[in-house]
Amino acid sequence: MKTVATFVVNGHPHEIAVEPHQLLIEVLRDHLGLTGTKHSCGVGNCGACTVLVDGIPKLACLTVAREVRDKPILTIEGLAKDGVLHPLQQAFVDYGAIQCGYCTPGMILTAKALLDGNPDPTEHEVREALAGNICRCTGYVKIVEAVLAAAEVMRKGGN
């Protein structure tokens, strides 16, 4: 049976009627039209659907929507501020870390959680943090470069 719950997505509260079994990815994509959260494996193997809940990476394809009601949810659409790309987004563009772009939102959000907790990671720490995110295009080289470059920008006071 549907019940109404509040989902605080990218800073905005939304009252949405959800079924008990409904997944967060459905709420984001189908109810809110936030299609930047990508569906790929459907079972938590690839990281494409990663969003941040309370700052922590969550796989939206495995997360029951009602479990995250009232909690702050950040999707890729909420990362740029006033039309200015977040340093991670800018670095992904600048370093050629985006090819098909399908893994990009999940990669960027996973990397954001890493950098928020560890502003100066080693390359190996970046690779460990992104180990659950599959990319089939880049071989990860430029993604890792971009994360390290963004970390430097953020340490120097970029937003």
Residue 80 near residue 20, CB atoms below 8 Å: no
Question: How far apart are the C-alpha atoms of 23 and 147, rounded to whole Å?
Answer: 29
Question: How far apart are the C-alpha atoms of 2 and 58, rounded to whole Å?
Answer: 23
Report the residue number, 32 or 68, with the smaller CB distance to another protein.
32
Among 121, 142, 149, 151, binds another protein (CB under 8 A): 142
Among 31, 72, 132, 158, binds another protein (CB under 8 A): 132
Question: How far apart are the C-alpha atoms of 46 and 97, rounded to whole Å?
Answer: 17
Among 24, 25, 38, 121, binds another protein (CB under 8 A): 38
Among 140, 148, 149, 154, binds another protein (CB under 8 A): 140
Shortest Cβ distance from residue 81 to another protein (Å)? 11
Q: CA separation (Å) from 112 to 13, 69, 128, 145, 155?
A: 22, 22, 14, 14, 13
What residue ranges bind another protein (CB under 8 A)?
Answer: 26, 29, 33-43, 45-46, 48, 75-77, 79-80, 85, 89-90, 92-96, 98-105, 108, 126-128, 130-144
